[in-house]
Amino acid sequence: MRGPSVTPFYAGDIGVRGAARVRIGLPFIPMHYGQPSAGAPPAAIATAQRVLDRDPLGYTELLELREKIVAYYAATHGVDVHIDRVLLTAGASAALVAAYAALFRPGDRVAMLRPGYPAYRNSLTALRLEPVEIHCGPGQGFHPTPAQLEALQPAPQGFVVASPANPTGAMLDSQQLSALLSTCRARGIRVISDEIYHGISFGRRAVSALEIDSGTIVINSFSKLYRMPGWRLGWMVVPRDWAAQIHSYLINMFLTPSTLAQHAAIAAMDEHEDLERWVRIYERNRSRLIEGLATLGITRIVPPDGAFYLYADIGHLTRDSMQFCLRAVDEIGVGLAPGIDFDPVEGHRFVRFSFAVTPDEIEGALERLAAWLPHYSE
Ligand SMILES: Cc1ncc(COP(=O)(O)O)c(C=O)c1O
């Protein structure tokens, strides 16, 4: 192999061990992956079943879905997005790769947060771009500041940012996002705003970068709010004069995204009550998990504003988060993501809990941890 080597998703190893347990009938509580344990909205599944019976499922980009996405930006963010700017993708992952490939040249530097979503760093590396990590720890609420962007010398060519963020759930308010975007504008830094967790927030709505700067590349997905991670569907909104070129990248790299998923997604976008019901379940899970972990002595947590993660500092228990997570799955059947996935420098003392599971699974995980942690030693 002559390509750059990239690290795996360590949480994947936890998933493999969890699946092995399930195969032999042992319990497993899957809080390691960032995916809702409830499936797609029932109306989306019913639509998919109908479509399977009548549609040959060729390569398609459904205009109706792009129109619904335009309507979503008008209704939720009060922004007018021309339909030509909306491109359908095989999840936010394909959107990210196409954006990196189209916007940057090999060797360009792209800033991202640490801790942050591992694929930002790894897909930049795979494309021969250079990730530049901005450390945003709990002391600053996991929020990047304009001063940190200013301090990068020379200016990077790009900046990828998510709000709410993975793995911390930290959300930028309108002022914070505006300040970051204006620093980027002043320094000629292209922004990719990953809005995949929009719709999942607790107390306030997430602000889209499109409300502030229509020149931002925005990516989004049906994997989180719409609970359709395995359907592999997302979208991007791009400046109009770049749309044809970025679409060419997408078509050449991936052809079209799943046709079945596109039909189902149209139905999912109308399921407001069902979507909201699950967000409220996550909200209750969030409170219960924060409270339950506190009784177990895990208190160094910045309560997340959105997404469905708690990123906990468990430095009093371990200096090896991977070992901790491997033992949690093997010894008590609880799947957690090790901090080293998100932060190669300090992640050895953090773990991420996903609370996009059922309330019973939260109780089960807390009970198992309560019995296990007092005896845990390395
Ligand atoms: C911040 C972030 N961006 C992008 C993705 C990729 O999502 P997908 O390709 O399923 O849309 C994820 C998945 O967990 C994520 O957490």
C-alpha 244 to ligand 1 mean position (Å)? 24
- Residues 233, 362 share a domain: no
Amino acid at 67: E
- The rounded distance, in Å, linking the Cα atoms of 305 and 253 is 35
- The rounded distance, in Å, linking the Cα atoms of 314 and 312 is 6
Q: How many helices (H) and strands (E) does the chain have?
A: 12, 12
Q: Is the distance from the beta carbon of residue 93 to the nearest atom of ligand 1 less than 6 Å?
A: yes
The structure tokens listed for 96 are: 């990210």
Residue 4 forms part of a structural domain = no
Looking up residue 286, the CATH number of its domain turns out to be: 3.40.640.10
Cα 369 to Cα 11, 19, 183, 310, 333, distances in angstroms: 18, 20, 44, 15, 10
- Would you state the pLDDT for residue 17? 97
- Would you state the pLDDT for residue 372? 97
- Residues 98, 208 share a domain: yes
Q: Is the distance from the beta carbon of residue 347 to the nearest atom of ligand 1 less than 6 Å?
A: no
Q: Is the distance from the beta carbon of residue 257 to the nearest atom of ligand 1 less than 6 Å?
A: no
Q: Is the distance from the beta carbon of residue 234 to the nearest atom of ligand 1 less than 6 Å?
A: yes
Amino acid at 133: E
CA angle 199, 157, 82 (to 5 degrees): 45
C-alpha 92 to ligand 1 mean position (Å)? 6
- Would you state the pLDDT for residue 216? 97
- Residues 257, 203 share a domain: yes
Contacts of 157 (CB under 8 A, 6+ apart): 103, 104, 105, 108, 109, 110, 189, 190
Cα 166 to Cα 35, 123, 125, 161, 209, distances in angstroms: 12, 16, 19, 10, 17
- Residues 67, 112 share a domain: yes
Q: Is the distance from the beta carbon of residue 123 to the nearest atom of ligand 1 less than 6 Å?
A: no
Which of 268, 283, 304 terminates a domain? The answer is: 268
Residue 322 forms part of a structural domain = yes
Provide the domain limits for residue 322.
10-40+272-375
The structure tokens listed for 168 are: 């911390």
Q: Count of domains in the chain?
A: 2
Atom of ligand 1 nearest to the CA of 95: 9
CA angle 228, 232, 236 (to 5 degrees): 100
**Does pTM top 0.95 for this prediction?**
yes
Query: Comparing C-alpha atoms, which of 186, 175, 180, 173 is closest to residue 113?
Result: 180
- The rounded distance, in Å, linking the Cα atoms of 233 and 231 is 6
- Residues 114, 132 share a domain: yes
Q: Which mutation among 32, 196, 225 tests ligand 1's pocket best, with the greatest number of atoms within 8 A of CB?
A: 196
Residue 5 forms part of a structural domain = no
The structure tokens listed for 262 are: 């596109």
- Would you state the pLDDT for residue 127? 97
Atom of ligand 1 nearest to the CA of 222: 11
Q: Which mutation among 117, 171, 193 tests ligand 1's pocket best, with the greatest number of atoms within 8 A of CB?
A: 117
Q: Is the distance from the beta carbon of residue 162 to the nearest atom of ligand 1 less than 6 Å?
A: yes
Q: What is the pLDDT along the chain (378 residues), one digit of tens a residue?
A: 999 999 999 999 999 999 999 999 999 999 999 999 899 999 999 999 999 999 999 999 999 999 999 999 999 999 999 999 999 999 999 999 999 999 999 999 999 999 999 999 999 999 999 999 999 999 999 999 999 999 999 999 999 999 999 999 999 999 999 999 999 999 999 999 999 999 999 999 999 999 999 999 999 999 999 999 999 999 999 999 999 999 999 999 999 999 999 999 999 999 999 999 999 999 999 999 999 999 999 999 999 999 999 999 999 999 999 999 999 999 999 999 999 999 999 999 999 999 999 999 999 999 999 999 999 988
Residue 282 forms part of a structural domain = yes
Which of 235, 268, 301 terminates a domain? The answer is: 268
- Residues 328, 250 share a domain: no
